[in-house]
Chain A
Amino acid sequence: MRYSALSILKQALSGNRLWQPAWREPQPKPHYDVIIVGGGGHGLSTAYYLAKEFGITNVAVIEKGYIGSGNVGRNTTIIRSNYLLEGNNPFYEFSLKLWEGLERDFNYNAMVSQRGIVNLFHSDGQRDDYARRGNGMRMHGVDAELLDREQVRKMMPYLNFDHARFPILGGLYQKRAGTVRHDAVAWGYARGADQRGVDIIQHCEVTGIRRENGLVVGVETTKGFIGCNKLALAAAGNTTTVGRMADLDLPIETHVLQAFVSEGLKPVIDHVITYGAGHFYISQSDKGGLVFGAEIDFYSSYAQRGNLQTVEHTMEEGVSLIPGLSRAKVLRSWGGVMDMSMDGSPIIDRTPVDNLYLNCGWCYGGFKATPASGFCFAHLIAKNETHHVSRFMRLDRFERGYMIDEAGKGPQPNLH
């Protein structure tokens, strides 16, 4: 069923009784060309692009909970491509370009809203870092502007310009960045994949990976064995658990990141803002909630919940940056489990097992990558060769000494 204003009109006149399911609930077939483990944003987008771009439709997405139950529905909805390093920048720009055409592509309004991001800086050194980043972006044709203090003040007069511990000196501005309605991304990809023949199998947990002669032949699941020619892992925070079933050694540590939403408020924050003197970031959803977050809790965790100290720290940074927030009330906090990699950058690669493919290590930046991650992973699975924008995101880069260390923090995952 194609969605449009007309379809809404027609359905409304028949009492909204004839809407069809957005996706089927099929029983698993005995065998698929490709099985994707993980029905989150990346797994679903991989399935969608496998079907749409590479003509591979005999595909199953296997999800242990409900689709979108992981980080695609737990993040702070920010999309951007303001990266520094050559290993990241073209990939995220490719992703942003896919976002820009996504809704018409999959006929689902995920509310891609290019409201712009400003990364604030508070020292000359930070300005130089952002200038380097912005120039790198421009070199790749990505939009970037360096704003001075007065330009920032004009855009965001409510920031703390007069009593800040760390004065705002300016910001790096990417206009094309923005936010997306996160759940709708999962649903849009699921619907698009389903329409092209992909089986989305929810409430089906993978309990083992069966190998014969060194090759993966399928997965054991709570719904029985399902065979496949190629197996693709997109399990985010649970990557290690699934990877161990195939004896993969991974440069991943799982951490919890909290996110927050305030009560609904009339629009006050138009942009996405990041605080350069801390880790705080914030935007306001179309519904009116302020959506924000800051740092991980720092200890390894598979629990989708965090600690009060981190909550307080987040609010301290928020009120320091935007004094007016003091009277707003935070409604809800939650946590997502992150596959933090050893250099803060992701992995989209083959594995030592020939027909086993890996997509992981997104740390807490995976949402914005959803389209490109799926596209590049699909490309890799379909053609058995790396897409050029993800060519640095290799599993063996650590052994070779080609880390993509955007933060320059080294091999300690909780610092990225």
Chain B
Amino acid sequence: MASLITCPHCGTRPKEEFSIRGAAAPKRPAPAAKDEVWHRYVYVRDNPKGRVLEYWHHVAGCRRWLVVDRDNFTHEVFGVMDASDFERVRGVE
């Protein structure tokens, strides 16, 4: 990944068009969730070595937030999806 990202909207684009936020696995809890859940959401990271989901933002393109499915050791990218789609799928699960 780290050189080129295939944006689902714009096609393959160089890394410098994107900004990276971090892990996409933590899901924003319900407002009434317990303190512990909120703490984990904001501060605790699984941080596995290997396959991760990560939020990337196509700032110099379509300005959509994307979820990049990638290996953080080999830097191979398995897929990129629009973050809204990702959240919808995750919401259903």
Residues of A within 8 A of B (CB): 238, 240-241, 249-254, 297-303, 306-309, 342, 398-399, 411-414
Contacts and interface: CB of A to CB of B under 8 A. Distances in A.
Contact of A303 (B23, B54, B72): B72
B88 interface: no
Chain A CB within 10 A, most for which of B23, B43, B47, B72: B47
B90 interface: no
Contacts of B54: 299-300
Contacts of B56: 299
A297 B3 CA distance: 11
Nearest to B50: A302
Contact of A251 (B1, B35, B44): B44
B64 interface: no
Contact of B15 (A252, A302, A309, A398): A309
Contacts of A298: 19-20
Contacts of B7: none
Contacts of B70: 299
Contact of B22 (A307, A308, A398, A412): A412
Binding site secondary structure of chain A: mixed
A413 B42 CA distance: 11
Interface string B45-84: 1111100101010000000000000101111000000000
B39 A303 contact: no
18 contacts: A238-B49, A240-B45, A240-B46, A240-B47, A249-B44, A251-B45, A253-B23, A254-B49, A298-B19, A299-B70, A300-B22, A300-B54, A302-B72, A306-B2, A342-B43, A398-B39, A398-B43, A411-B43
Interface residues of B, number: 30
Interface string B1-26: 11100000000001110011111000
B8 to A, nearest CB: 18
Given A309-B16, A412-B22, A250 B45 contact: yes
A411 B72 contact: no
Contacts of A399: 35, 39, 43
A251 B43 contact: yes
A19 to B, nearest CB: 39
B27 interface: no
B73 to A, nearest CB: 5
Contact of A240 (B15, B21, B48): B48
A253 B22 contact: yes
B23 A299 contact: no
Given A298-B19, A299-B54, A307-B15, 18 more contacts: A240-B45, A240-B46, A249-B44, A250-B45, A250-B47, A252-B47, A253-B47, A254-B72, A299-B56, A300-B22, A301-B73, A301-B75, A303-B72, A309-B14, A309-B15, A398-B43, A413-B22, A414-B22
A306 B52 CA distance: 17
A413 B15 CA distance: 19
